[in-house]
Structures are given as C-alpha cells and as structure tokens.
Amino acid sequence: MSDAKTDPNRIMLYIISDSVGETGFNLAQAALAQFPQIKPIYCRFPFVNTDSKLDKILDQAKADHAIVVHTLATKGLAAKITNFCEQNGLVSFDYITPLLTEVSKRTGLTQTYEAGAVHHLNARYFDRISAMEFAVLYDDGKDPKGFLEADVVLLGVSRTSKTPLSLFLANKNIKVANLPLVPQAHIPDELWKVDPKKIIGLTNDPSVLNNIRRERMIAYGLNPDTTYSDMDRIKEELKYANELYKKLGCLVINVAHRSIEETATIIMESLNLDTYENN
C-alpha cells in the first residue's frame, strides 16, 4: 500500500458498501479506465452496516490517504463518511445519496434505508436464474428446440463470443440460444421458423479471429498453426456465415474490437429488450 503514496500513477480507492458493492466498484472502474497509465488499487469493503465497521475502515483510509467511494443506503453512514473525510482531508464520492435525496424531494416519499434492496429474491431474480439455465441448456446448438423458445438466437463461427454473450444477456433476464456455424454443416429446420428479428449474426475480422484462435491453441499447449487457425479456412467460414445471415435477413454485428457489454447493448437496443431487466 505504501507504493500508492509514493507513486503518482498508483491510485488507491476504498469502495464501501452496505451490500455487495458492485455498483461502486463498476463506477470506479469506469472512471479509472479513462487513465490507462494509472494502476489503481481497489480496496472493497462490502456489507458495512454498522458504525464500528465503518470507523475501522475510515481509519485505514486516512492512513492510506485513499479516495473513498461509497454507495450506502443504511441510515447515517453516508453522512458519517462525508464528515470524516471533510475533517481529515480525504476526498469522497457518494454515488447514491444525491439521487435518493432528489427522488424523495420530487415524490414526497421516504427511502427505506434498506441495504441491498436491488438484490431482493423476487420474481425478477428467479427469472434471471431461469434465463441463465436456459442459456446453458441451449448453448452450442445442443437442442434446436430452444431456438423457438428463445428471446434471442445467436449465430456465429467459432470464437465470436457466442457463449459469454449468451450468459451476459441471460443475466439481463433474456433467454438466449446459440448455434456454432461450420461450412457444410446441417442448419436445423427450427432456425428457419424463428422470427429473423430475433436472430443475431455475429462476425469478426479475419485477422482478429486468426489471432484469437492461435492464442487459444497456444493456451491448450497445442500447435497454433492448424486448419482451425488457417486464414483461408477462416475466410471461408466467415463467408459461409455472412451468406447465411443474408438468407435469414437477420441483424449482423461485427464483434471485432467490441466488448461483450457493447455487443449486448446493440442487441438489446435493436430488439427493444432493455425492458426485460426491469420487468
């Protein structure tokens, strides 16, 4: 921790939450991503719901001269952090209280002060679990029947992020089935019965795909120069996939240089599926 004090490119952030702390952590990461030359140190403190727990953490933050980020709903704790930081020369960011205050002001309602309220085991939560089970069950075209039940059907050649994208969307309560595409392979009859608007064709740049496949073979301790990573073979696979997408009339997304989150956002916006998470 002493490195953060002496190295200007080492920033220490204390992320304090009375729940799991994902919101504060994600926001802090998003901000620090704008400074790639900085090596942030994230110190996460979840389930902080008492004065005694908070006091110990704040004393540590003072010793480390950390930036304090917090998302506390428990009554009184956010104000305590603000006061402590002001008195001890620390910088703090309250990611939730200003919004709670404004909502209360506009509606005349009082917040519940319940930590982790967003993580209730309600119907939405169990829908998410169901969607994740669906994604696993119908991964890699295991059962074509899933295409007819899915909210989204992902198509793509090997290493176009079908499985991680399926699981990411499932975490948004979206039921996803996916099918790997291989030239000359049989296309299930069920796919032609799916509304083209629900089908997403994933593609990639040949050079990017070549690098990904070579790295995958190396990771397995195998020769990277195989048919799987051959450039001519890759171009053939992508051509086959793109021709199929044209026949289906589906949306095509090039995942080269795109994160899973970016691709998922394009899919949800194109199909108006962003409302699923809020149902």
Provide the annotated binding site for ADP.
156-163
Name the 3-class secondary structure at 252.
strand
**Which tokens hold the place of 118?**
């967003």
- The strand pairing partners of 16, in sequence order, are 45, 70
40 Ramachandran zone, left/alpha/beta (phi>0; psi -120 to 50): beta
Residues tagged in the binding site annotation: 156-163
Residue 113 makes CB contacts below 8 A (sequence gap 6+) with 73, 74, 75
**Which tokens hold the place of 173?**
């309560």
Instruction: Tell me the C-alpha distance between 166 and 212, whole Å.
Output: 19
**Which tokens hold the place of 259?**
């994160």
Instruction: Tell me the C-alpha distance between 212 and 15, whole Å.
Output: 34
Asked if 170 contacts 176 with a C-beta cutoff of 8 angstroms, the reply is: yes
Asked if 47 contacts 18 with a C-beta cutoff of 8 angstroms, the reply is: yes
Helices and strands, counts by H and E, the chain: 11, 8
